[in-house]
Structure 1
């Protein structure tokens, strides 16, 4: 038995009552399973999908109807100019985080300039790898406490052939990290603990809690970084870039005031909200 593309789209329409862009998502599901582009699926609604593939598509539709993120179902998420593997062990790459990539690249405009970068909480590796792929003479270290997350980052590292330029390390934040860096980046957990249950089901039920929970005020990881980071970790003109949550700018800056770092810039999203904060050595 076969199923037309149009039949599968109608099924998704009935199931995806919580989605505004259900047709886009079901086309992505169909295209991933049958190995065709989304535009091909859009133009071929009468195509008959073989039974085995149709069963996979229906199972994916059911999973998405239960709020499981599409990236978790397909195992891939587009970010910056690339697509990264993602699993239940990693935070899904998000468009807001591209602001951090833009901020770093704007600080290292010379594409041939060598520099050394450290990412704390590397997850999928989408941040540091996007930067390295745009700056071919840069090298880096990506740190994560989770062995499962590092396994996903390792898959992405091998896919993008970055083994000679990126070292992945299992460690707890700055623990066991030595040397000086031109750039330190992080998208740390910044959701206040009591707000976790208020998040959308797509997030709270499928992203790892350790990648979301930033403690009582959401600022635990910033507090810890500013306490533990020492001047020798940054080169003379080195910079630190943090992603932060809505309304957290002043709180993060306040936590930096007893450190050697000085706030230097804020990068805003399209709604004018400060999403990335830049610090430099004093």
Structure 2
């Protein structure tokens, strides 16, 4: 359904036919689960619920709807992820707006939130939380939603990401319990926090070009590139933790695959050792490393 396939587009008359045509195009482009994605694109282009699409599949598309669907199908066939097309993504059952300066929140990052809740089981604790590299604010918002007495600060080097995080937190009703700053990790902060969390860039520079198309070409490289060995951000954060953590405070950091041993060593050298093995995600990958309570 593109301008190059104008004849095909002109034959599409109903929602069901549109979905089949888009699925064929996505399959040709090598997109996984093309039928499922086609249905999502039709819903996005036409503003439909799943029920609308199922029960009213025989309704013809208007010319305007055909144009919108054609544009979305073309972008998806070229590798742009669905979340970017929609401009939003769900994380921890919360809805987050995306921007060019933010990563698309990943399901595996919920493992970090789970590790935080396990490390701080008191739901009424008045925690002070610092989220370094906050992006959309997804991690911070998830924690604040589970710990209603907590207050959080998000920091991001990207002004665009910081604005997006602030907007998300306000829209989710968490604006009064949060602040978002622009900065490089925790360098400009003087306060102490019970919890420091981060999903830092952890891809080795030489591996960025080999990432899947939807990540390589559509996620900000600032949030992906972790330096020559992928560990630069961990070194920077670990050096700052002693000045950021309150007595008894902990850090919880997301890990890339195979990084647990190296990050544990980095933390230990800085006097903030991990408190046991990292928490694993559903794929069995060591995903969230938790430090022992900080002793000044």
Please confirm whether the aligned pair reaches a TM-score higher than 0.5, indicating the same fold.
yes
Question: Which structure 2 residues correspond to residues 1-282 of structure 1 after superposition, within 5 A?
Answer: 3-17=13-27, 18-230=30-242, 232-265=243-276, 266-280=278-292, 281-282=294-295
Aligned residues of 2:100 and 2:160 also touching (Cα < 8 A)? no
State the alpha-carbon separation in 2 of the partners of residues 237 and 8 from structure 1.
58
How big is each residue's C-alpha offset from its partner over 1:144-183, in whole Å with a ceiling of 9 and x where there is no partner? Answer: 0111111211221221122211100001111211211111
Unaligned runs of 5+ in 1: none
How big is each residue's C-alpha offset from its partner over 1:79-100, in whole Å with a ceiling of 9 and x where there is no partner? Answer: 1111111122211000110101
> Which deviates more from structure 2 when the two are superposed, residues 3-12 or residues 34-43?
34-43
State the alpha-carbon separation in 2 of the partners of residues 106 and 47 from structure 1.
50
Aligned residues of 1:84 and 1:156 also touching (Cα < 8 A)? yes
Between Structure 1 and Structure 2, the one with more helix by share is 2
Aligned residues of 1:27 and 1:42 also touching (Cα < 8 A)? no
State the alpha-carbon separation in 1 of the partners of residues 141 and 163 from structure 2.
15
CA-CA distance at 1:262 after TM superposition: 1.4
Indicate how the Cα distance of structure 1 residues 107 and 47 shifts in structure 2: closer, same or farther if over 3 A, else same.
farther
How many residue pairs get aligned? The number is 281
CA RMSD of aligned residues (A): 1.6
Task: Kindly name which structure, 1 or 2, has the bigger radius of gyration based on alpha carbons.
Answer: 2
Aligned residues of 1:8 and 1:58 also touching (Cα < 8 A)? no
How big is each residue's C-alpha offset from its partner over 1:26-81, in whole Å with a ceiling of 9 and x where there is no partner? Answer: 22222233332124323432122322122112211110000001111110111111
Aligned residues of 2:20 and 2:38 also touching (Cα < 8 A)? no
Indicate how the Cα distance of structure 1 residues 48 and 247 shifts in structure 2: closer, same or farther if over 3 A, else same.
same
State the alpha-carbon separation in 1 of the partners of residues 167 and 35 from structure 2.
30
State the alpha-carbon separation in 2 of the partners of residues 147 and 81 from structure 1.
26
Question: What SS does the corresponding residue of 2:154 show, helix, strand or coil?
Answer: strand
State the alpha-carbon separation in 1 of the partners of residues 48 and 124 from structure 2.
37
CA-CA distance at 1:142 after TM superposition: 0.1
CA-CA distance at 1:202 after TM superposition: 0.4
> Which deviates more from structure 2 when the two are superposed, residues 208-217 or residues 262-271?
262-271
State the alpha-carbon separation in 1 of the partners of residues 167 and 62 from structure 2.
30
State the alpha-carbon separation in 1 of the partners of residues 42 and 166 from structure 2.
27
Question: What SS does the corresponding residue of 2:20 show, helix, strand or coil?
Answer: helix
State the alpha-carbon separation in 2 of the partners of residues 245 and 43 from structure 1.
43
Unaligned runs of 5+ in 2: 1-9
- Would you identify which runs of 4 or more consecutive aligned residues in structure 1 move more than 6 Å? none
